[in-house]
Amino acid sequence: MRPPICSTFCSNWNRRGPLTDRVLRIGTRDSILATWQAEHVTGLLNALGHPTEIIFIKTEGDLVLDTPLPMLGGKGVFTKALDDALIENRIDLAVHSFKDIPTRLPEGLTVAAVTEREDHRDVLVLRSGLHLNGDDDLPPGSVIATSSHRRGAQWLGRYPGHTLTDIRGNVHTRLKKLDAGNWTGAIFAAAGLIRVGLADRISRVLDWMLPAPAQGALAVMTRQDDNQLAAILQHIHHRETELCTGAERQFLNVLEGGCSAPVGALAVISDGRINLKTSVLSIDGTMKADTELDAPLAEAATIGKEAARRVLASEEGRRVTDSLRGPA
């Protein structure tokens, strides 16, 4: 596990004492992964000298497990209960997987910090006892489990002879369902498996699959008027991750895609420039519109919007987005 991004600064800051003695109430879902995420942020804040308390909150996405995620309403099902707790001043901050947060935030709330990104990639986990040798030796007719339209569309685009099946639940629940069933494998985010100590279950890294916007990053949401907390959180904020995830989420926002829209995006910063790759697909993976832009880092705030403009202006982009909207 990489060291905290603020390790050197934290030790110096701690000698001067914290900005406040206030106990920071951290809201989170109660899954093993969500708890790890909250404890990670707790550790960063504790290193700065700030006392914390973790408060567990159930969300609709945790309580309703027999309905496909897009039918529940998309990303907001994992965040609304925590948003309400923030607005009602029952917690001071909420920790989320950034990819789960809708691009349009509730009024009065803001993302005050983004932590350094973990592995952004998607991975294939095979059912226990199955093994692969070559790059493309998945058997014909394989059944792959995923609740993500983005993952499913990209998978079918590469393996049109395979069948997809829906899978819900936290990381451990999904692994148990996979191992107990007849499916070939399931698609997971590498970051989630790494964070809960299950990296050994990764059968294949899907380098060809574009991740969800902001996948692998953690976001800390607060009330917009909590200036004191905003100042504290700047010391655990990772600027490069903010710029990359911001470009990816801007692309998604302009396209008005949600959790159910097959949209992938990945921004990478190198040598003072930002490169953004994006893809929008039809649900069945038969149509797609890809873009790749490279620009000076000074244009990071607008590169997502420009990528979306190019998609919407292209013939392929119009065909894909029309297929997602359905008949008029």
To the query of whether residue 100 is one of the catalytic residues in this protein, the response is: yes
At residue 7, the pLDDT reads 33
At residue 60, the pLDDT reads 60
At residue 131, the pLDDT reads 85
- Torsion 319-160-151-74 (CA) sign: positive
At residue 43, the pLDDT reads 97
Distance CA 321, CA 261 (A): 9
Strand bridging mode 24-28 / 122-126: unpaired
Phi, psi torsion values for 96, nearest 5 degrees? -135, 155
At residue 4, the pLDDT reads 37
Mean pLDDT of the chain: 88
At residue 326, the pLDDT reads 61
How many other CB atoms are found less than 10 A from the CB of residue 11? 11
How many angstroms separate the first and last alpha carbons of the chain? 49
- Which is catalytic among the residues 83, 92, 100, 226? 100
At residue 168, the pLDDT reads 83
At residue 64, the pLDDT reads 46
3-state secondary structure string across the chain: CCCCCCHHHHHHHHHHCCCCCCCEEEEECCCHHHHHHHHHHHHHHHHCCCCEEEEECCCHHHHCCCCCHHHHCHHHHHCHHHHHHHHCCCCCEEEEEHHHCCCCCCCCEEEEEECCCCCCCEEEEECCCCCCCCCCCCCCCCEEECCCHHHHHHHHHHCCCCEEECCCCCHHHHHHHHHHCCCCEEEEEHHHHHHCCCHHHCCEEECCCCCCCCCCCEEEEEECCCHHHHHHHHHHCCHHHHHHHHHHHHHHHHHCCCCCCCEEEEEEEECCEEEEEEEEECCCCCCEEEEEEEEEHHHHHHHHHHHHHHHHHCHHHHHHHHHHHCCC
In this prediction the pTM is 0.87
Residues of the chain with pLDDT under 50: 1-18, 63-67, 69-73, 328
Query: Which domains does the chain possess?
Result: 7-116+217-237 (3.40.190.10), 122-206 (3.40.190.10), 247-325 (3.30.160.40)
pLDDT in tens, 287-303: 999 999 999 999 999 99
